[in-house]
Chain A
């Protein structure tokens, strides 16, 4: 398995501002992903973070709103841009290990509240 850390663990932000969330994995992984989990709901995939290239976004999510970086195999960032209260959610990073049947391991999440 992989151990995944995220920073910050939580934040309260003003609308119109941006927040960058960091995700660090303790070993080299093939795939990294960003999910959103709104209160009381399940996880929704935002995008796949690709190393050295642009992220692949799922329907309903765009790069201008959620820019993602992955400069190497163990680190990724997600920025939530021009925030509104609707962006209040938990943002989770996950990592998939090559040859591990596609199993994903999750970071502890970042709780974001936008006022």
Chain B
């Protein structure tokens, strides 16, 4: 079967760096997604990794290791507006575009 694990909650200080980890088990890997979801809002796409390594996009970077079934989202220069849930997701095995989501990590950024 498929399984995704993320920490439930994290806290960090404004201006700091935080790393949100995600481990997954899936057959037939087709990439890994990170989404951001502010309370009461829809998820918004942050990143997609299909090859090993680090993808940098401004203050946010995402890393993937396929051999370890592991990804992380790195947020730099944290701002208060980064307080949100961060969802890790992978496509269903054999399913085109269908995503299975992890439970999400609630990040609270404090002054």
User: A: which residues have CB within 8 A of B?
Assistant: 1, 30-31, 33, 41-45, 48, 92, 96, 101-109
Contacts and interface: CB of A to CB of B under 8 A. Distances in A.
A109 B103 CA distance: 18
Contacts of A106: 42-44
- Say whether chain B's binding surface is mostly helix, strand, loop, or mixed: loop
Chain B, interface size category, equals: 20 to 34
The 6 closest A-B pairs by CB, nearest first: A106-B42, A96-B97, A31-B97, A43-B101, A42-B101, A102-B97
B87 A42 contact: yes
Interface of B: 30-31, 33, 41-45, 48, 50, 87, 91-92, 96-104
B87 A104 contact: no
A108 B44 CA distance: 10
Max count, chain A CB within 10 A of own CB: residue among B44, B45, B50: B45
A74 to B, nearest CB: 16
Contact of A43 (B43, B44, B50): B43
Contact of A101 (B43, B50, B101): B50
Max count, chain B CB within 10 A of own CB: residue among A43, A45, A104, A106: A43
B45 A105 contact: yes
Given A42-B87, A42-B104, A43-B87, A104 B99 contact: yes
Contacts of B96: 31, 102
Given A31-B96, A42-B103, A103 B45 contact: yes
Nearest to B88: A42
Contacts of A108: 41-42
Contacts of B104: 42
Contacts of B98: 31, 33, 45, 48
